[in-house]
Chain A
Amino acid sequence: MRRVFSTTILSIVASLLPVSAFPLNSKKAPESLDDLMAIQEALQAALPRAKAATVNIDLGEGSGSGVIVSKDGLVMTAAHVSGGVGKDVKVVMPDGTELKAETLGLMAETDAALIRITEKPEGGGDFPFVEVNKTDDSKLGDWIFSLGHSGGFDKDRGVVVRLGRLVRMANTTIQSDGTLIGGDSGGPLFDMDGRLIGIHSRVGPQLPVNMHVPVRVFLDGWDGMLKSEFVGEGPFAEKPEKGSGFLGIATKDVEGGLEVTKVGKGSPAEKSGFREGDLLQTFNGQKLSTRDGMKVLLAEMAEGDKVTLEIKRDGKDETITLRLEKR
């Protein structure tokens, strides 16, 4: 009994000690070949796991990076990469496998965002993921490494790694001298124990100026982002304006609903299978009876918003879900 007790005390004491075990962080600079080897060995030990979870985010018109932080496919990235809430994007795994994903919430003022992979990994099972350093114990001068799909996905080249130190610390930004470039945005910044401490955001005009969003910014806004909230106003993401959503049908009021008289070519309505003659019943659960009524509802929506419409087709009930596009 007594032994169990003392073991408990020991383990409590142990858990109070700093978790980071990387000894070179307590030296102002490496002093010997051994010190240099210690940096190299820590980096190479952490790399395989960190690389496996570093993904490319394919936005169609461009790409950024991100990192998987849970076994079920939650991805941390930058707000200016995800660009909005509820968008369909592709996540490209390091081996080139492309998976469907959806952008969750974002923090527009600090450049933080979450994405969820909505497909299972190839062959099933869990996604490779990295540990998020929630202790917020990184300090100025700590050695770090950056990963990312610089300039876009390149299977032959693989994920690109850069080594550096933390050179500036501020509340919502940390700066390192590990060089970033376009395509790295949203990619992960790690401490030498392979724990995630930040997400790449932007660069300055001088080569060694590279900015990252610290993990604590994400943790502060975590619940809101999980609930797909768009937090803040710019500069890293612009809130879509109300009324900017485009559906792409013409209707007329008839008995028993709204009859679709025309479906626009290439419109979200056409892509989701709308046909002339469909009878609209409800719009996001609200009953539709007049064109003006639907106009009022649409005016409250923005591009990218999800809409569920119940219709009658040939006497049968059907439900169509689609995303509004930019008007």
Chain B
Amino acid sequence: MEKMKQSRCALKSADLVAWLAALALCCGTAFSQQSLETDFRTTGDAVLAAFGTQRQVIQKSSAVIYNGRKEIAYGMVVSPDGYILTKASQVEGTSDIGVRVDTELFKDAKLVMTDARWDIALLKVEATALVPATYAPDSKLGQGTWVVVNGATSRTKRRILAGIISAQAREIPAAGGPALGVTLAESDEKLEIEAVSEGSGAEGAGLKKGDVIVKVNGKVVKVLKDLVKLLEDMKAGDVVKVSLNREGKVIEADVKLSAKGELFANESRNDEMSGDFSKRRSGFPRVIQHDILAASSTMGGPVIDLQGRVVGMNIARANRAETFAIPVEELKKLAEGMVAQARK
């Protein structure tokens, strides 16, 4: 008898506790008698074997990014001499970046630059003969078009996963406005930090409970309204200069603004169902969407079509059913622009 934890898929507030444990209705023995062997499922080896030529592209032109020995992201080869693109928020703050392309491991990869708007980072490794994938002319693939990505990896082999374009290309607005990531107490025209949100830009910049915010970008802030007004014209990813009073001393800090929705979001029921999702999954100018099962640590790699051409780069695991990728039009410009700037 198979036990199964289940969850209904309607969004109902009343359903918050609807993880149904071991529903006898559909977990009967009849199930196990009529079950498709793993190999023949959509993620199974027999099915994925049909994507042999696409797998070769992923093997040669995608990258695996490590922090020490831990896999933290995937990436994409953009030049023969070792420029690699990946998802910035997955690699920021790591000290020991390694990159594997094909069977070769490059230690001491350098984080050259990042683009906050798209959440991508350019890495550089010491290489001479990497094989960048070819870009597709555009990302205008109809819904239902096959796409292939790096799904898992060993030291020598990339294992692909395949899926389809599942929705219309579009902008993903930042979830909520920009925020420093602090809870403030306002008294006597003084803004004192009561708490610093985990994973926020404020935490990253070292802001602490008890600090008093004096200025933001050179402008004096005394009440919450001042701060709200200042942030009005900014967006998540922008960096602001914050002057703080800490025990009588003035301290300066550069704080990267976070998206309010991603900072304070109580995990929704869909997040709970998804298990794993990207920390940064909103605020992208344009994305294409596919249905490949992914994890936050498998973002950053190329998305290729049946012809083996790059149509995008995985940028956010939004939830268990939706993954976002930067479309090739924007991706190509970003890659070429960043590499050109790095070579200067």
Contacts and interface: CB of A to CB of B under 8 A. Distances in A.
B12 A201 contact: no
Interface stretch (A11-19, A150-158, A307-315): A150-158
B146 A36 contact: yes
A81 interface: yes
Interface in A23-70: 28-33, 35-37, 39-40, 43-44, 47, 59, 61-64
A161 B144 contact: yes
B176 interface: no
Contacts of B245: none
Interface range on chain A: under 10, 10 to 19, 20 to 34, or 35 or more? 35 or more
B9 A201 contact: yes
Contact of B7 (A63, A140, A202): A202
Given A141-B40, A178-B291, A63 B306 contact: no
Contacts of B163: 162-163
A80 interface: yes
B42 A165 contact: yes
A35 B11 contact: no
A123 interface: no
B11 A152 contact: yes
A202 B6 contact: yes
Given A28-B46, A29-B49, A182 B9 contact: yes
Interface stretch (A168-176, A256-264, A268-276): A168-176
Contacts of A204: 4-7
B270 A62 contact: no
Interface stretch (A183-191, A282-290, A292-300, A317-325): A183-191
A236 to B, nearest CB: 7
B168 interface: yes
B166 interface: yes
A179 B320 contact: yes
Interface stretch (A127-135, A205-213, A220-228, A247-255): A205-213
A163 B166 CA distance: 9
A37 B26 contact: no
Interface string B106-126: 000000000000000000000
Interface residues of chain A: helix, strand, loop or mixed (majority): loop
Nearest to B30: A170
B11 A151 contact: yes
Q: Among B36, B168, B320, B322, which residue has the most Cβ atoms of chain A within 10 A?
A: B36
A204 B233 CA distance: 43
Interface in A85-114: 109-111
Contacts of B34: 140, 168-170
A211 B26 CA distance: 9
A181 interface: yes
B15 A80 contact: yes
A160 interface: yes
B164 A156 contact: no
B41 to A, nearest CB: 5
Contacts of A151: 11, 270, 319, 322
Contact of A40 (B25, B145, B270): B145
A32 to B, nearest CB: 6
A231 interface: no
Contacts of A64: 9-11
A182 B9 CA distance: 4
A39 B47 CA distance: 12
Contacts of A205: 4-7, 275
B22 to A, nearest CB: 11
A236 B232 CA distance: 45
B25 A172 contact: yes
A119 B339 CA distance: 57
B31 A185 contact: no
A84 to B, nearest CB: 12
Given A63-B10, A171-B30, A161 B41 contact: no
B274 interface: yes
A61 B51 contact: no
Contacts of A36: 50-51, 146, 306
A111 B10 CA distance: 12
A203 B47 contact: no
A28 B40 CA distance: 7
Contacts of A59: 10, 12
A209 B20 CA distance: 14
B41 A177 contact: yes
Nearest to A46: B144
B269 interface: yes
A164 interface: yes
Given A30-B47, A183-B270, A202-B20, A167 B35 contact: yes
25 contacts: A29-B44, A40-B145, A62-B14, A63-B11, A64-B11, A78-B10, A109-B25, A151-B11, A157-B167, A158-B167, A160-B289, A162-B163, A165-B41, A175-B31, A177-B43, A179-B291, A179-B320, A180-B9, A181-B270, A181-B320, A184-B9, A186-B10, A203-B320, A205-B7, A208-B43
Given A140-B35, A185-B10, A202-B6, 19 more contacts: A29-B40, A35-B50, A40-B145, A63-B10, A64-B9, A64-B10, A80-B10, A111-B8, A141-B36, A156-B171, A158-B143, A161-B164, A167-B41, A169-B34, A179-B320, A185-B9, A202-B7, A203-B273, A204-B4
Interface of A: 28-33, 35-37, 39-40, 43-44, 47, 59, 61-64, 78, 80-81, 83, 109-111, 140-141, 145, 150-152, 156-173, 175, 177-186, 200-205, 207-209, 211, 235-236
Interface of B: 4-15, 20, 23, 25-26, 28, 30-31, 34-36, 39-44, 46-47, 49-51, 53, 142-146, 163-164, 166-168, 170-171, 268-270, 273-275, 289, 291, 293, 306, 319-322
